[in-house]
């Protein structure tokens, strides 16, 4: 159980979880409602966004801001519009700029889709020069404040093809630690959640990883970046694990992959280049379910650094790292 006295600002994590669940369910309803009508755009080659992503993120911001107007936000589809945020003194002091922390131009973000027309830039601008260098592909989360890290649809390529493996991901983060995480799959009506030190749940029932210890008995998943190139290390790693594992999948949602390892459907998962909004909720859910999670080089996982390896046991984690590092 988290000791409320150890939580900065005396924040109630139970209340944060409640708000995150409400936001994820409201966003999930929106994306299901738009499943057959969403307009698709390309941020960059093969990297998709729809107006459902934008509308869902607006709903999430609206629900969370109504309860926590002083908190900060990093969303895949841009920041909340200026004027709605009350910047934390430390965020200003460090010169943190939400617009440059996000992948898309701020005008792509709308607040309350019912109140304002959607205005997607045509075409979307993709990663801007102010973004971190390519080896650090995650977003930047402001320090010394409560920050909600939001991916309104993780698995947009699946969503666009109506392949039912996508989810809303919402995490409450402070100084690199996820305190609350919610991943909601609206097609399956599965809500994965965790609060730091309080375990992980699926639809309110406690979940645990499988405990599988051997790679030749393991079902493993991998993520690739959208524009993966022939001959890259990710493909070499995929082949290595494909040969060693009982079976290997590329499902298309980093957030759900982490939750599936958490509940024992998968035994392991790795990703070479994910952003913090893909995984901020899922890593907490996986760790609270008993998974072992590190960077691909075995060092402690860092939310802003884009790579992770997770497994249902320490021996399987070691075997998986062995395969991945043979070729990197």
Provide the binding-site residues for ligand IPD, judged by CB under 6 A: 76, 151, 153-157, 223-226, 252-254, 274, 278
- Strand 292-294: give its sheet, edge to edge: 247-249, 219-223, 268-271, 308-311, 292-294
Q: How far is the CB of 130 from Ca ion (least distance, A)?
A: 20
Work out whether 51 is an interface residue with Ca ion (CB under 5 A): no
Number of other CB atoms surrounding residue 163 within 10 Å: 14
Residue closer to Ca ion, measured from CB, 154 or 307: 154
Residue closer to ligand IPD, measured from CB, 11 or 277: 277
Q: Compute the Cα dihedral for 272, 274, 279, 284 and give only its sign.
A: positive
Residue closer to Ca ion, measured from CB, 154 or 287: 154
- Which among ligand IPD, Ca ion, none contacts residue 224 (Cβ within 5 to 8 A by kind)? ligand IPD
- Which among Ca ion, ligand IPD, none contacts residue 155 (Cβ within 5 to 8 A by kind)? ligand IPD
Q: Are 310 and 293 in contact (CB under 8 A)?
A: yes
Judged by CB under 5 A, the residue of 51, 151, 185, 307 near Ca ion is 151
Nearest to 241 by CA among 268, 279, 211: 268
Judged by CB under 5 A, the residue of 88, 154, 240, 244 near Ca ion is 154
- Which among ligand IPD, Ca ion, none contacts residue 87 (Cβ within 5 to 8 A by kind)? none
- Which among Ca ion, ligand IPD, none contacts residue 139 (Cβ within 5 to 8 A by kind)? none
Q: How far is the CB of 223 from ligand IPD (least distance, A)?
A: 3
Q: Are 146 and 172 in contact (CB under 8 A)?
A: yes
Residue closer to ligand IPD, measured from CB, 191 or 258: 258
Q: Can you tell me which residue has the tokens 């006295």?
A: 5
Residue closer to ligand IPD, measured from CB, 111 or 224: 224
Residue closer to ligand IPD, measured from CB, 63 or 251: 251
CA distance 32 to 21: 16
Decide: residue 148, CB within 10 A, 0-12 exposed, 13-18 middle, 19+ buried: buried
What distance lies between CA 166 and its chain's CA centroid?
11
DSSP output for 281-306 = HHHHHHHHTT-EEE-TTSSBP-GGG-
Q: How far is the CB of 322 from Ca ion (least distance, A)?
A: 28
Binding mask 255-284 for Ca ion (x = CB under 5 A): -----------------------x------
Q: Compute the Cα dihedral for 84, 74, 41, 121 and give only its sign.
A: positive
């Amino acid at each position: 159980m988290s000791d409320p006295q150890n939580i900065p600002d005396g924040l109630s994590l139970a209340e944060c979880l409640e708000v995150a669940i409400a936001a994820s369910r409201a966003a999930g309803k929106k994306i299901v409602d738009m499943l057959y009508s969403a307009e698709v755009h390309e941020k960059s080659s093969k990297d998709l966004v729809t107006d459902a992503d934008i509308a869902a993120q607006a709903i999430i911001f609206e629900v969370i801001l109504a309860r926590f107007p002083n908190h900060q936000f990093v969303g895949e589809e841009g920041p909340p519009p200026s004027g709605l945020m009350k910047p934390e003194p430390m965020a200003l002091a460090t010169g943190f700029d939400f617009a440059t922390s996000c992948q898309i131009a701020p005008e792509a973000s709308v607040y309350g889709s019912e109140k304002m027309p959607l205005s997607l830039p045509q075409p979307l601008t993709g990663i801007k020069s102010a973004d971190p260098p390519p080896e650090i592909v995650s977003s930047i989360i402001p320090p010394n404040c409560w920050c909600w890290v939001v991916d309104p649809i993780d698995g947009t390529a699946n969503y666009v093809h109506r392949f039912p493996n996508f989810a809303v991901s919402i995490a409450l983060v402070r100084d690199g630690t996820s305190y609350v995480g919610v991943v909601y799959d609206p097609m399956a009506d599965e809500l994965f959640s965790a609060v730091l030190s309080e375990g992980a749940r699926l639809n309110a029932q406690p979940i645990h990883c499988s405990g599988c210890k051997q790679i030749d008995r393991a079902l493993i998943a991998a993520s690739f970046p959208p524009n993966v190139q022939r001959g890259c290390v990710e493909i070499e790693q995929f082949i290595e694990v494909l040969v060693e594992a009982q079976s290997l999948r590329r499902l298309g949602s980093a957030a759900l992959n982490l939750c599936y390892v958490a509940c024992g459907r998968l035994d392991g998962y790795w990703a070479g280049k994910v952003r913090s909004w893909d995984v901020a909720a899922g890593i907490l859910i996986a760790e609270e379910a008993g998974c072992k999670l590190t960077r691909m080089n075995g060092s402690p996982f860092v939310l802003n650094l884009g790579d992770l390896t997770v497994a249902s046991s320490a021996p399987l984690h070691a075997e998986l790292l062995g395969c991945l590092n043979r070729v990197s």
